[in-house]
Chains A and B, each alone.
Chain A
């Protein structure tokens, strides 16, 4: 259910069955060109060229301020023994291992919670979805204060007498990464809950009503009737969340700057620091980019395998 609409992959010259696709017209040569060229030019310069360039740069010692010669596999071999890089990779995967299950469970639970005609749910839903339109950078600024030593989180903990001293959410090198995860989860759940709610509303009510007549309780109906019917969407949400965690940048950049020490340095933050600022090592950063791309492709590949298996 995820990727391509099936007819999209058919080559242009193949005779497309009429009933699926509307009559596709042939025109003089300049007509399609006029429609496709504008986007193609922009993509050529700002998508295809940088993409090819990334593959080229990864094998050079180019700098963002100019120059660069071909150095073969030098970047790759340096990367392989770059402890700071692999530490960032490890952190990013820890990030994924924690946030993906939490986001999935919370989003499914909240979607089930608000998928009801109970009065008030109609007002609650748009509020719960609203973080998805808030810019991540601004959310991060807000949580920088919320999680500070005198922030809301510590005020609540101390107000309820759970802790006596402020918890160093952002200053403790063991805790900081998990504090950032909380921000990712807070914002991420909004979109994923929305996607899951849409799936829930497409679920047929008949089965649920039948189970209800049989006397099945609400939890029982949820686990045995409802959840199996949105399994595909739940998987999709986990995959989307996993890809999103590979790209985490804004939270550590804004909230901790990668610190304390390097405790919250993720792959993309490392890429930024090596290639953009303060580093200018475009070649090496491109090699990092390629490894990031491999990780994203691996996750996408898993998603493709799962969706194919579900279809059969």
Chain B
């Protein structure tokens, strides 16, 4: 590496790059990066990673500590002397964490199902069916996309109570069952299907519903996964609405439950830390295993929003 002797320190141009001591088959971009740049980038990336992971690792450290061990004293006490899973066991037995997880799972299942079904049907109609008012509906959808939920929070509470869904999990799900981003993701997916496919099926005698179910739907499986993943992450994150519509703590989803306990159960920080970490596991698993879907969905969502 030291053989680089140009004006720009350590940045040999790709054309005159001197032979490497150990030539390795690498993507061409990597060869040009100087040692200095690498070191700077590594140092800065390490700082960024520490800022992101630091609070979580500290939580993990506290959650693994027994009641006798202090959570104070940095950095000496960061690694628990006597790691124990007691706090996690307490979180699952002494506080209603399993109940909250079950509620969240139910809400997420209903929410994702509703989201996928409604977005698929609407997206299909908006992409490939002609009907009166279609343009108006698209405009209305785009206009309501800028409406923050908080603006209609109080009214939605009154309406949901009016239809008798207060303090029910269905009442948590329905007001957020239609996602405008999801509708447009599905619409785009249906727009991308070639006409020939539809024509062939129609010639074969498929009616509109057969066409949709047997020909169109199988072609958009990728987008269905995007919508489902995004719907799950959204549902796991929702806070203000379940907080408002639920009054029975037995029905709380994890978010509302954990913050509720952190208010009433503040005596044991270690148990709350353990519970908080458990709550983060499902979305993190989905994220790490379905990164492609998450990124695609978020990118499209950001551009529409």
Q: Which residues of A contact B (CB under 8 A)?
A: 1-4, 8-14, 21-27, 31-36, 38-40, 42-43, 45-47, 49-51, 53-54, 57, 64, 110, 113-114, 116-121, 124, 126-138, 140-146, 150, 152, 155-156, 158-159, 186, 190-191, 194-195, 198, 209, 212-213, 215, 217-218, 236, 240, 243, 246-247, 249-250, 253-254, 268, 271-272, 275-276, 282, 285-286, 289-290, 292-293, 296-297, 300
Known contacts being A117-B33, A138-B280, is A133 close to B286, with CB within 8 Å?
yes
Complex Cα distance A23/B127, Å?
A: 9
Known contacts being A22-B198, A117-B29, A133-B283, is A32 close to B244, with CB within 8 Å?
no
Complex Cα distance A300/B146, Å?
A: 7
Interface of chain B, main secondary structure:
helix
Residues of B within 8 A of A137 (CB): 239, 255-256, 258-259
**New A-B contacts (8) at CB < 8 Å, excluding given A21-B191, A186-B52:** A39-B121, A50-B159, A57-B155, A118-B33, A135-B237, A140-B259, A272-B153, A293-B148
Residues of B within 8 A of A118 (CB): 30, 33, 37-38, 41-42
A212-B11 in contact (CB<8A): yes
B298-A191 in contact (CB<8A): yes
Residues of B within 8 A of A127 (CB): 49, 52-53
Interface of chain A, main secondary structure:
helix
Q: Which residues of B contact A (CB under 8 A)?
A: 6-8, 11, 13-14, 27, 29-30, 32-33, 37-38, 41-42, 44-45, 48-49, 51-56, 58-59, 62, 71-75, 114, 117-119, 121-122, 124-125, 127-139, 142, 144, 146-148, 150-160, 163, 174-175, 177-178, 183, 191, 193-195, 198-199, 208-209, 212, 233, 236-237, 239-240, 244, 254-256, 258-259, 262, 269, 272-273, 276, 279-280, 283-284, 286-288, 291, 294-295, 298-299, 302-305
Residues of A within 8 A of B146 (CB): 296-297, 300
Complex Cα distance A54/B158, Å?
A: 10
A51-B239 in contact (CB<8A): no
> How far, in Å, is B171 (CB) from chain A's closest CB?
10
B30-A120 in contact (CB<8A): no
B45, B53, B258: most-surrounded residue (chain A CB, <10 A): B45
A289-B152 in contact (CB<8A): yes
Known contacts being A128-B52, A240-B302, is A121 close to B118, with CB within 8 Å?
no
Residues of A within 8 A of B59 (CB): 142, 145
Residues of A within 8 A of B174 (CB): 42, 45-46
> How far, in Å, is B230 (CB) from chain A's closest CB?
10
A22-B194 in contact (CB<8A): yes
Report which of A8, A32, A247, A272 forms a contact with B138, defined as CB distance below 8 A: A8
